[in-house]
């Protein structure tokens, strides 16, 4: 039994370490065998619910206490998250002529909360992990209200869905699983702490399957609009990373906090975007989320490597690494 746990732990560590590469491979699989993996799109909401439950298991009340201790940094990060990325998505789409379901998909990605891999990237970048965890957690809890409002504001004329439908879906596949994970950890702390090291295996597998399924379902469209959409996704991610960093700089945050805000703003919960697009719009609307999932993990890893060689000045750098399992 101990040997099996050791092997499983090594596999989980491997998936966490090579997350970006595995996501890219998932996209390649979607292109190579589109028919076989496209059928998995029906399971995207379930997969995301499992991932969000795992995220809830990693959370503790202390992760939300930072809102009271450092409200300025938290409010700045949340404001940048829900203003910069939605407006950047609409602006990039307008500039490149993306319309219809591609515009809806871009705006949906921009209106989602921060990605679940952002905390790992912030840690590797020597950023403020505590702030990163708080921003991801609070943004996720705000998503049922803010994400539908932003999507309908910026892309409403192109969408066959209303606020309450989006709200209900986000509550079901994000809020309920996250709160359930929080409660399970509070009631069975020791048991949960024993399984935390293995959670990367579940979350990474889920994201890879989501990417493969969405790319497979849209393999025919990728040849027509793939290059333009890739440019849009790269530009969107870059705008988020750059403006997130400078928002922290203008507001007087220290270097480690700027890095955390930058990564939180630039990395989105693309799994949520893909799930909502698949459930309410069309498979095509999920394509920006799939491409974003691939690219933001690549760009985040590159940025973390760059920042890791330039230690942040004292005044907010994390003193511990509490969430090894949140990928």
* Tens digits of residue pLDDT in 1-27: 556 666 777 776 777 667 777 878 888
Question: How sure is the predictor about 75, in pLDDT bands with cuts at 50, 70 and 90?
Answer: very high
- List the structure tokens of 325: 């399992």
Question: How sure is the predictor about 313, in pLDDT bands with cuts at 50, 70 and 90?
Answer: low
Stretch 217-245: mean pLDDT: 86
pLDDT at 2: 57
pTM comes to 0.82
Stretch 279-301: mean pLDDT: 84
- Determine contact, residues 232/94, Cβ cutoff 8 Å: no
pLDDT at 211: 81
Domains along the sequence of the chain with CATH: 41-308 (1.20.1530.20)
- Determine contact, residues 248/262, Cβ cutoff 8 Å: yes
pLDDT exceeds 50 at position 324: no
CA torsion, ordered 233, 236, 238, 242, to nearest 10 deg: -170
- Residue 61's contacts (CB-CB under 8 Å, 6 or more residues apart) are none
- List the structure tokens of 313: 């000045």
- Determine contact, residues 321/120, Cβ cutoff 8 Å: no
The larger pLDDT score, comparing residue 241 to residue 66, is at: 241
CA torsion, ordered 30, 175, 192, 197, to nearest 10 deg: 30
Stretch 65-94: mean pLDDT: 91
């Amino acid at each position: 039994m101990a040997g099996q746990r050791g092997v499983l732990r090594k596999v989980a560590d491997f998936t966490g370490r090579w997350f970006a590469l595995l996501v890219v491979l998932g996209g390649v699989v979607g292109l190579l065998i589109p028919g076989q993996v496209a059928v998995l799109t029906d399971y995207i909401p379930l997969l995301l619910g499992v991932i969000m439950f795992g995220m809830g298991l990693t959370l503790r009340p202390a992760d939300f206490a930072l809102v009271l201790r450092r409200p300025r940094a938290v409010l700045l990060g949340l404001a940048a998250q829900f203003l910069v990325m939605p407006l950047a998505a609409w602006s990039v789409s307008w500039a490149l002529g993306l319309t219809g379901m591609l515009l809806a998909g871009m705006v949906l990605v921009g209106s989602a909360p921060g990605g679940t891999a952002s905390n790992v990237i912030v840690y590797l970048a020597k950023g403020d992990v505590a702030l990163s965890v708080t921003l991801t957690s609070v943004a996720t809890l705000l998503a049922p209200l803010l994400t539908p409002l932003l999507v309908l504001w910026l892309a409403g004329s192109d969408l066959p869905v209303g606020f309450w439908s989006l709200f209900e879906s986000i509550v079901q596949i994000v809020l309920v699983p996250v709160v359930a994970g929080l409660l399970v950890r509070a009631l069975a702390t020791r048991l949960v702490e024993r399984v935390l090291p293995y959670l990367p295996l579940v979350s990474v597998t889920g994201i890879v399957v989501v990417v493969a399924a969405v790319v497979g379902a849209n393999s025919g469209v990728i040849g027509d609009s793939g290059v333009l959409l890739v440019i849009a996704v790269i530009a969107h991610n870059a705008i988020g990373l750059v403006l997130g960093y400078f928002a922290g700089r203008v507001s007087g945050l220290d270097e480690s906090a700027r890095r955390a805000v930058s990564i939180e703003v630039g990395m989105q919960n693309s799994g949520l975007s893909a799930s909502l697009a698949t459930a309410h719009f069309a498979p095509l609307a999920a394509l920006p989320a799939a491409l974003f999932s691939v690219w933001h993990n690549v760009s985040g890893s590159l940025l973390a490597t760059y920042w890791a060689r330039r230690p942040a000045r004292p005044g907010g750098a994390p003193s511990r690494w509490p969430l090894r399992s949140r990928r």
